[in-house]
Structure 1
């Protein structure tokens, strides 16, 4: 479990894992500074772009919180002001820390930042990068998965739900597969712990829609109805301890 500490800087609050960052370097959230000091290792494209960095001998991912949907067209990254404790970055940091403590396959949180701006705030989070892993979506564009791996994916989702974790955007981009065929989950913005309910089936349905949409758009996704049945077989099995 992370050993968190908070650093306050003129209203800005940074929560960080003291076992990784001692002392905390506030410039880690600045992509330009990362590039100037040769810590930057690349970035992803799109609205929710992420920067890859290597710092303190660890590979990490820096993600800025962006607004989605229609509101994101006019307001890219400002959220209505709240306390730092209740900001999206801190909530994700704390949830990841708790899940790691429970042995769930999620990235280790490194640091989170809350930056107040008048009646609003901006936020960022840094996590450890999962080594040698790709999004399920990308893996399926290059090869088919074994029956056992589909069962493992279903079992991993079942285990997430058994720990009461609601993933607000469970899709084929937020499930990662590493070179040892281990299943990981990423991007826990707007996620939380919930009591058992209909949201569990809604999570499964969302993933199914994601796979079907990706298959329709890609024209070559190595995925079919039988694979989905194998995933459901894994989900129907007993949850891991």
Structure 2
């Protein structure tokens, strides 16, 4: 049986596992959130039902979060803001403080809802009532709100701030901007349409000057959120397991972190030997294989010569860059095969071979499609939308040949081969975007297909 202190330090290899907490035994079904050594949130059950267990280190930041959680829960309950009931809590039990919450039935996070079913006015109303009652969720990502029995609940109460004085409008707008930055940039107009519900909850009217202030704050919040998300891909958190030493650097998701826990280079090389070759080259080798029970693509970046090693050993590996860029595209909602991890072989900190692993998508490249298939309105619209997204987010791919566009069996397009990609934050993007357009169009000779593609991408 696990102890609460041990599970806070290191996750078990598989679930369910048994845990005793506060004199009661639980079956731990899954990890909902995890910050190693500080806090962990668990979905658990026993003969009495289902629960959410939240464990905190009983010192430092963990203990501070435990105290904030209890304070915010009391504040929200008194203000009639929906929060899950606390069934039990205890302070410093053998190095662990804990809170046991009732499990909300049929709960679904806002992140899991489509735009058609999203309760936008309910969310803005909740934010308005929070601000009116002198509290705000300073980490307002969509997984911190759940719908259960037609009620919107606030989660992660350790991140809820409850000052003693009424909130300043600047504080409220900053918090509102952080919420709206959780949504894709393409949905901003839709969000603004729901904004009056926030001001109605505060008995106020939306002022055009205030809306302009808010738009500027949303831009800053988006930039911050993206940078924070990408930094998380290079440290251990709920999504990613990261490690770095003089001989290895790796970031892995999900089951891969277990499969590659011991001797990752040996496991990857064996998987490549057992897999199906997709590309053989001096600088990169690509195979389709199986890891942790799923079909994956492994791209190994090789060192061709000692001189090549000397030129590359101090720079970020192309696997590292691919991992970063794939997470960036995933964050922005631009279709790319799901990134699963990267592994770098090192010699006393100097980079050598490196591996990028992503989910395998069955399909053909755009180069393999016939002219009639490419000329289909749905296909042209997807290509147009993808170029529009690249333009909107200032993404320069750097190698938009037709073989780097993957079309799956449902005719959805995925962008691949991201090791030259950059997000251009300074001047010069217009010229580079034009290069991407020209490189893309060179895949087809002058004719009807090229003409339609030129119109689609507004080249």
TM-score, normalised by the number of residues in structure 1: 0.75
Question: Contact conserved, 1:106 with 1:185, CA < 8 A, in 2?
Answer: yes
Distance 1:76 1:178 in 2: 39
User: Which has the larger helix fraction?
Assistant: 2
Q: How far off its partner does 1:235 sit?
A: 1.9
CA distance in 2, matches of 1:164, 1:29: 38
**Does the C-alpha gap of structure 1 residues 120 and 111 become closer, same or farther in structure 2, counting only changes over 3 Å?**
closer
Match of 2:433 among 200, 204, 215: 200
**Which of 121, 138, 155 is the equivalent residue of 2:368?**
138
CA drift of 1:174 comes to: 0.2
- Aligned-pair CA distance for 1:66: 4.3
Q: Matched residues in 2 for 1:35 and 1:99: separation?
A: 26
CA offsets, 1:62-101, max 9 Å, x none? 001247xxxx6x5696352226xx3322222122112112
Three-state SS of the structure 2 residue aligned to 1:50 is strand
Change (3 A) 1:154 1:182: same
Give the C-alpha shift of residue 6 in structure 1.
1.6
Partner of 1:59: 295
Aligned residue number for residue 44 of structure 1:
278
Q: Which residue of 1 aligns with 2:252?
A: 16
Q: Aligned-pair RMSD on alpha carbons?
A: 2.9
Greater Cα shift, 155-164 or 20-29: 20-29
SS at match of 2:279: coil
Q: Residues 135-214 of structure 1: matches in 2 within 5 Å?
A: 135-140=365-370, 144-148=373-377, 149-195=379-425, 196-212=429-445
CA contact (8 A) 2:437 2:457 kept: no
Q: Which residue of 2 aligns with 1:122?
A: 353
Deviations 1:194-226 (A, max 9, x none): 1432000100111222334xxxxxxxxxxx622
Does the CA-based 8 Å contact 1:29-1:62 persist in structure 2? Answer: no
Inter-CA distance 156–207: structure 2 relative to 1 (3 Å threshold): same
Structure showing greater radius of gyration is 2
Residue in structure 2 matched with residue 229 of structure 1 by the alignment? 451
In 1, distance between residues paired with 2:382 and 2:307? 37
Q: For 2:313, which of 56, 81, 85 is the aligned residue?
A: 81
1:27 matched to 2:267 = no
Task: Report the Cα distance in structure 2 between the residues aligned to 1:76 and 1:171, rounded to whole angstroms.
Answer: 28
* Aligned residue in 1 for 2:131: none
Q: Quote how far apart the aligned CAs of 1:110 are.
A: 0.9
Residue correspondences, number = 213
Aligned residues of 1:152 and 1:234 also touching (Cα < 8 A):
no
Deviation at 1:29, TM superposition (A): 6.4
Structure 2 unaligned spans of 5+: 1-228, 234-238
Unmatched 5+ residue regions in structure 1? Answer: 213-223
- Which gives a bigger RCO, structure 1 or 2 (Cα 8 Å, sep 6+)? 1
Residues 1:91 and 2:321 aligned together? yes
How far apart in 1 are the matches of 2:341 and 2:419? Answer: 14
Deviations 1:173-212, CA, capped at 9 Å, x for gaps: 1011112221110010121111432000100111222334
